[in-house]
Amino acid sequence: MKASMRPQLAQSINLTPQLLQSIRLLQLTAPQLELELRQALERNPLLEQEEPLHDAGEDGAADDAALETAAWDELPEPSFLSGGSAGSDYADDAASRIADSASADPRVRLLQLLSLRWNERDLALASWWLDQCDDRGYLEQPHAELLALGAASLGIDAQELELVRIRLLHDEWPGMAAADIGECLRAQLVTHRDGPARDAAQRLLRDHLDLLARHDEAAIASALDIDAELAREAIAMVMTLRPHPVDEPAATEDTHVVPDVVTWHADGRWRVALNPRTAPRVRISAHCERALADAPGDVSALRGLLEEARWLVRGVAMRNDTLLRTAQVLVERQRGFLERGEEAIAPLTLREVADAIGMHESTVSRITSGKYMQTPRGTFELKRLFAVRLDGAEVSGSAVKAMVKRLIDAEPAHAPLADDTIAGLLARQGVRIARRTVAKYRDQLSIAPARQRQRVLACAS
């Protein structure tokens, strides 16, 4: 074999500590940012807390922040951030590997976990599967139908799409995207230690779910041809499994919400401002900076602290400017929601907001995760203002869900509306959805079917 050398041109970028700090500051919540700045004030003597500035000063700071933000967001595309070659089709975005704050959306939380190990193509296919799951993590339609639909709509081989579902089934949240409860429980069971009890539990889930539902230990032992003790161990192992795969976020002791942004209506338009009480304002001490410039001898350690202080001040300004511009776009696009309520929430995606502020989708995702907005309608997470467009309609799924709730709330007490009736009423309003979509939204609202609602009313009377 003959060794040879050939030149190859590639572009890459290294994630410097300063850039990583800027990315991390983007995703800090209000309490986290306050803690970060107070620790910096204690650690770095060149930083000092400043009093609130007048409007003119704030405008100047905003202009500087805009320039810094524009410079930061001119980073190469994700393929360059990974350090890979420009020709890579599915290179990983190294910046997106930094964990975002926990979101209330389980789909977002799971995709954040998977992004640490999965490539972009598989993540996109995983996202498609998650869109087909209900709030518990189960497929909403028959598996075979979804597989054929996905292969046709995405233009890929059905086997590749199914392999991604199998990975979801056995990855971070075992059982995710399962076709039924049996498949979900079997996927969770694989994580248990191998042994006779697990083998018996697998056979029990595969062949005798009816006996398990009756808790008939004798019948289970006879059907599996095992002794009663092993049958009890198998049943106990199954009972430790979760009935659905969605992993709830860990509860925290401090559950109060601090809004990062405040919006209000005045002079005929909606105004947006950062919450001035979320974090202390910091700046570089002017007299320390002047003294350091004229200091004799070796002051490299202090110069390092000065550089660190400068990066922190710039990073906070970038974060605040990005958050404010993002919130302004969200408020402009969702004026209907703020004025009229849930039924007026418009379809809106990360890409649309990113295009409006001239940034990458990952930046918008980080700046909206865990951030809250105080409005006349209450305080809620910024991500709530994003809504998926309903297929074949000009409205969002969230708006249709609110319409379904309004119709059920106003239904006659003696004649609850069936799902197909609700679908017909919505069609008269120009919103055409299938009966199963109505059932899906009704389940998400924890509303019983019409027959059961009628039975409850009959019992009450």
- The 10s digit of each residue's pLDDT in 83-117 is 333 333 333 343 333 334 455 667 777 888 888 78
- The 10s digit of each residue's pLDDT in 291-346 is 766 666 666 777 778 888 888 888 888 888 999 999 999 999 888 888 888 777 88
- Rounded-to-integer distance, Cα 244 and Cα 286, Å: 58
Instruction: Look at strands 261-266 and 282-284 and give their pairing.
Output: unpaired
Instruction: Check residue 373 and report its DSSP letter.
Output: E
- Rounded-to-integer distance, Cα 182 and Cα 245, Å: 12
- Rounded-to-integer distance, Cα 347 and Cα 343, Å: 11
Residue 390 has phi, psi (to 5 degrees) of -70, 135
If pLDDT is split at 50, 70 and 90, which confidence band does 460 have? Answer: low
- Rounded-to-integer distance, Cα 330 and Cα 261, Å: 11
pLDDT at 413 over 80: no
- Rounded-to-integer distance, Cα 150 and Cα 155, Å: 8
- The 10s digit of each residue's pLDDT in 141-163 is 899 999 999 889 888 998 999 99
- The 10s digit of each residue's pLDDT in 17-72 is 666 777 778 878 888 888 888 888 888 888 888 765 544 344 444 444 444 444 44
Contact 18, 260 (CB under 8 A): no
Question: Percentage of the chain surpassing pLDDT 70?
Answer: 76
Whole-model pTM over 0.75? no
Contact 237, 197 (CB under 8 A): yes
- Which secondary structure element, helix H or strand E, spans residue 194, and what is its range? none
Contact 14, 76 (CB under 8 A): no
Span 403-408, average pLDDT: 82
Query: pLDDT at position 231, please?
Result: 84
Span 65-84, average pLDDT: 39
- Rounded-to-integer distance, Cα 208 and Cα 221, Å: 11
pLDDT at 436 over 60: yes
Span 252-267, average pLDDT: 77
Q: What is the mean pLDDT of the chain?
A: 76
